[in-house]
């Protein structure tokens, strides 16, 4: 019985150690695959490829999902990547994000705008809020036909700044509490600051009056903060976008899968179907 107990104990520890090591090996292989594909795209386009991709991934051995947004760590890494890039070399930024810290997004946008080589931002799915701010700083925006950007109205806490101002304007100032008045003052400043920055990054892409108009439309609450701006809507605003997305960008996004839920909600055969061509395994 003692030998059996020892064997079970050893098997238990082997399984436990394997469960600890496997996620790290998996993440290492995934990182290697991503770097290989990035390097391939760099060689094809003769550029520096930078990714800013925020998805929910299980990144530790316990498998807890971690959701990311644009933060100071992101801006530090992107700025460092730009610094390591020759001034005349093109930069391709692949971005997929719900947004994040305005300060970090502005730092990235300014650095991209200062770069002398051509800057192209690829949006395969969405780049909302701070992601939109970064995209507008590029010389070229490439979007999937179904991808979207978003409005840039500042958020004060969980409230949109234009809505705070709207409430204050509709009431007698004597009927408004001090906290709301303070929030309104902050909201007014935040909108002004954001409009100035958006105009700054657009001024060399369109006439001054047009840049002012676009900045006002994006920042003053014309739409809700999560309103999807597809490439057609952006073209109507006067922002130059196209849909010439390289296949490698989609392949790279396949390597940034969401963490697996207990029950998958979407199912399909992961193979491309082409109209007018025989599918694999048919008519052989």
Do 38 and 168 lie in one domain? The reply is: no
Of 27 and 180, the structure prediction assigns the larger pLDDT to: 180
Shared-domain flag, residues 138 and 242:
yes
Pick the more confident residue, 91 or 174. Answer: 91
Whether residues 126 and 28 share a domain: the answer is yes
Of 72-76, 101-105, 168-172, the poorest mean pLDDT is in 168-172
Structure confidence by residue, pLDDT tens digits, 22-59: 666 567 777 888 899 999 999 999 999 999 999 765 44
Q: Which of the pair, 152 or 175, is modelled with greater confidence?
A: 152
Q: 248 and 211 share a domain?
A: no
Domain count for the chain: 2
Whether 51 and 178 map to the same domain: the answer is no
> Within this chain, do residues 184 and 246 fall inside the same structural domain, yes or no?
no
Reported confidence tier of residue 259, pLDDT bands at 50, 70, 90: low
Q: Domain check: are 146 and 196 in the same one?
A: no
What range does the domain containing 166 cover?
153-224
Residue 97 CA to residue 80 CA, distance in Å, equals 20
Q: Are residues 80 and 105 in the same domain?
A: yes
| Residue 250 sits in the same domain as residue 120 | yes
Contact in structure between 70 and 105 (CB atoms under 8 Å): yes
Domain stop point among 224, 239, 273: 224
- What average pLDDT is seen over the chain? 86
Domain CATH for 65: 3.90.226.10
Higher local confidence (pLDDT), 79 or 29: 79
User: pLDDT per residue over 128-165, tens digit each?
Assistant: 999 999 999 999 999 999 999 999 999 998 899 999 99
The whole-number pLDDT of residue 261 equals 53
118 lies in some domain = yes
């Amino acid at each position: 019985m003692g030998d059996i107990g020892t064997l079970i104990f050893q098997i238990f520890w082997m399984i436990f150690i394997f469960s600890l090591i496997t996620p790290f090996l998996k993440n290492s292989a995934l990182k290697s695959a991503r770097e290989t594909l990035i390097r391939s795209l760099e060689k094809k386009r003769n550029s520096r490829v930078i990714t800013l991709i925020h998805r929910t991934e299980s990144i530790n051995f316990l498998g807890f999902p971690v959701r990311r947004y644009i933060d100071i760590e992101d801006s530090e890494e992107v700025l460092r990547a730009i610094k390591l890039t020759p001034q005349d070399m093109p930069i391709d930024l692949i971005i997929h994000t719900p947004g994040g810290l305005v300060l970090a997004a502005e730092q990235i946008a300014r650095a991209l705008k200062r770069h002398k080589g051509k800057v192209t931002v690829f949006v395969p799915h969405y780049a909302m809020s701070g992601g939109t701010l970064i995209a507008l700083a590029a010389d070229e925006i490439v979007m999937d036909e179904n991808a979207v950007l978003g409005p840039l109205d500042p958020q004060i806490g969980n409230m949109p700044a234009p809505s705070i101002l709207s409430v204050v304007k509709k009431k007698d100032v004597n009927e408004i509490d001090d906290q709301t008045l303070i929030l309104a003052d902050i909201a007014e400043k935040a909108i002004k600051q954001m409009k100035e920055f958006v105009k700054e990054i657009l001024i060399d892409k369109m006439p001054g009056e047009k840049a002012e108009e676009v900045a006002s439309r994006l920042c003053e609450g014309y739409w809700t903060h999560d309103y999807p701006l597809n490439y057609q809507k952006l073209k109507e605003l006067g922002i130059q976008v196209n849909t010439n997305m390289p296949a490698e960008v989609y392949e790279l996004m396949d390597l940034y899968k969401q963490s697996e839920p207990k029950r998958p909600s979407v199912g399909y055969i992961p193979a491309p179907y082409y109209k007018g061509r025989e599918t694999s395994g048919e008519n052989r």
